Amino acid sequence: MAEGCRVLKVGTELISYENFTTVPPYKFTGCKRGIDNTTVNSLPKGSFIGILDVSEFGATSVYINQKTSLQDEIAEKIAAIYDAGFQFFYFDGSEGVNPPCGINVALAQYRVFKRLNPQPLFAEGAAKTHFSWHMLSGGNAFDVFSPEVLKEETKKWPAEEAPRMRQDFTRINFGWLGYWVPSETTIGTQPDMLEYVTSVAAAWDCPISIHSNLEAFEAHPRTPDNLEVVRRWEEVRAKHWLTEEQKNELKNTEQEHHLLLNEQNQFELVPYEQISGAAGNSKEIRAFIFQRKGEYYVVYWHISGNKKLQLQLKPSDITLYKRLDEEEPVNDSNGNILIPLNDRRYIRTNKLTKEEILAVLSNAKIID
């Protein structure tokens, strides 16, 4: 039951209360009748009343006793909505049943599922028990994690569970992924975070899901880059582009990977690593280094702003791209170079060593 919940079920009426006595005369105090638009009624002396089993999800959710017909009554209403033409079904909060959960999770789902005509093309649930196998394409998604811990929590939860779900021919949803706008309290959702989660999910043939709203997408300056990450990986899934060898590489959660579009606009999968300490360890910039065709590349961006990045290099030391098939100009600035720091871009270094690149980025300056 939700902590602090105090609701009585009295016939057709719900009554909230503030406290109760533990000595005679026993009574509830601070009562408010007819809450949630329930019907105020009167009952004869000696009638049974009870405490409403409000779930841990909050006052809008209650546990339905699966030994009663109430679940069937609710299921009929849900099926009538589904009949409007829906083809996908998600049992959200489906762990919210009374014990024994091993039976009642699937039973509550089945009492709805059997009324869905036609059956969903695919269905998921927040929880999945034994009999759910006959109904759900996947399940057991985890709720949103903040950007600062997303990668570690992905390792700890969905990436750990995915192999076990594979054993019974189903899958997990590597979501729900929140969508956070950068602010004083968070760096916000960034392209590398989405790439990490969706790449590991692709390794196990699992989907991702994003839980957000249009206002958040519009408010985040890196939304185009974030959605480009998702687009690329969704195309890879649809085309079955990944080989089994690549999937096995992606299952290593300690190694991050980047899906880039090369000079021929074809996909390439490369391992990359985050450059810590860029621009004096600034939180404004995210940068990752990888190697291809004998040269080092850096993919970098500003988490939310539109600034410049000053590097202690000559223009001939690097080639700058937003797309690898189209070079961008590199400006000389008093013996240094000045390049854009906003959307995601690529730097190809011309014969610089990895150590030299890391040193240059460590000493880089962000110019407003």
Residue 132, pLDDT above cutoff 70: yes
Residue 346: name the closest of 306, 288, 293, 307 by CA. 288
Architecture of domain 256-367: Sandwich (2.60)
Q: Say what the pLDDT of residue 365 is.
A: 97
* Coil vs helix vs strand at 198: helix
Number of neighbouring beta carbons within 10 Å of residue 72: 13
Sequence letter at residue 282: S
Q: What are the residues whose beta carbons fall under 8 Å from the beta carbon of 165, sequence distance 6 or more?
A: 138, 140, 171, 172, 204
Residue 62, pLDDT above cutoff 60: yes
Tokens 């570690």 sit on residue: 152
Q: Which two tokens stand for residue 265?
A: 């606009």
Q: Say what the pLDDT of residue 133 is.
A: 93
pLDDT band for position 56 (50/70/90)? low
Strand order in the sheet with 318-323: 256-261, 267-274, 285-292, 295-302, 345-349, 318-323, 326-328
Q: Say what the pLDDT of residue 59 is.
A: 58
Residues 268, 272, 273: CA angle, nearest 5 degrees: 170
* Coil vs helix vs strand at 104: helix
Average pLDDT, the chain: 94
Sequence letter at residue 279: A
Residue 55, pLDDT above cutoff 90: no
Sequence letter at residue 226: N
Q: Say what the pLDDT of residue 140 is.
A: 86
Q: Say what the pLDDT of residue 57 is.
A: 66
In sign, the C-alpha dihedral spanning 291, 292, 295, 298 is negative
| Burial readout 231-260 (b: 16 or more C-beta within 10 A, e: otherwise) | ebbeebbeeebbeeebeebbeebeebbbbb
Q: Within the chain, which residue ranges are assigned CATH 2.60.40? A: 256-367
Distance of CA 113 to the CA centre of its chain: 26
d(CA 27, CA 36): 22
Q: Say what the pLDDT of residue 58 is.
A: 64
Give the chain's length. 368
